[in-house]
Amino acid sequence: MNLESRTEYEQHKDNQEQFKTLMPILSALDEEEMRILMHLLESKNQQQNVSKQLTMTLVDEACSNEAKEKLAKLSEEENFALKSTYTHTKRTMQYAKKDKMPVDESKVKDLLRNQHIFRDRFKKDVGTYTGQREINSFENGLLTYVNEASWGDLRDLLTDIGINK
C-alpha cells in the first residue's frame, strides 16, 4: 500500500479531518463572504473550459502541501513503530527465555499451510479423550470423581451448578 492508494475508511477519516479544520473558518464568515464563497463554488461546478479547469486543478495541487504532510505523518508513525519495537526488544525480549518464545511468522505460515498433516499427526501422537467422550459411562464416572473429590469453594460451585445430584 502506498500514499495514493487508501481504503474508503482512510479516505473518510481524511475528509473528516479536513472538514474539522475547515468548519471554524466557515462558521466565522459573514453574509458577504458566504455569498462570495457560494458564488466561487457554483462557478467551479459549472462546465468550464476543460483546459482551464485542468490548469486550475494542477495549480491547486501544486500549491498544496497535502502530500508532504501525509508523508511526514506516515514517516512519523513508522518511526514511532520502529522505536517501540526496538524499545520492546531491548527492555523485555533481551531477558526472555528463547525456548519459551512464541512461534515466529514463518513457522506459523508453514503450520497453516500443512495444518491437515499436523492435525493428523497430533491425533496419532498425543492421546486425547476423544474416543471416551462418546461413552456416557466415562462422563458419569468423571463427574462422580470430581464431585466426590471436591471440597470448599469447588463443592459450593458444584452444588450451585447441580452436578452433585
- Sign of dihedral through CA atoms 104, 105, 106, 112? positive
34's torsion region: left (phi>0), alpha (psi -120 to 50) or beta? alpha
User: Does the pLDDT value for residue 36 go beyond 80?
Assistant: yes
Q: pLDDT per residue over 50-99, tens digit each? A: 667 777 777 777 677 777 788 888 888 888 888 888 887 777 777 777 77
Rounded distance between C-alpha atoms, residue 55 and residue 49, angstroms: 10
Question: HSE of 86 in the Cβ direction (CA atoms, 13 Å)?
Answer: 6
Q: What is the pLDDT of residue 68?
A: 79
Q: Are 149 and 142 in contact (CB under 8 A)?
A: no
Contact yes or no for 67/3 (Cβ under 8 A): yes
Of 3-17, 28-42, 71-85, 131-145, least confident by mean pLDDT is 131-145
| 48 has a pLDDT exceeding 80 | no
What Cα–Cα distance (Å) separates residue 66 from each residue in 21, 86, 118, 139? 13, 30, 50, 67
| The model's pTM | 0.30
- pLDDT (average), residues 128-138: 65
Q: Name the residue with cell 455569498.
A: 35
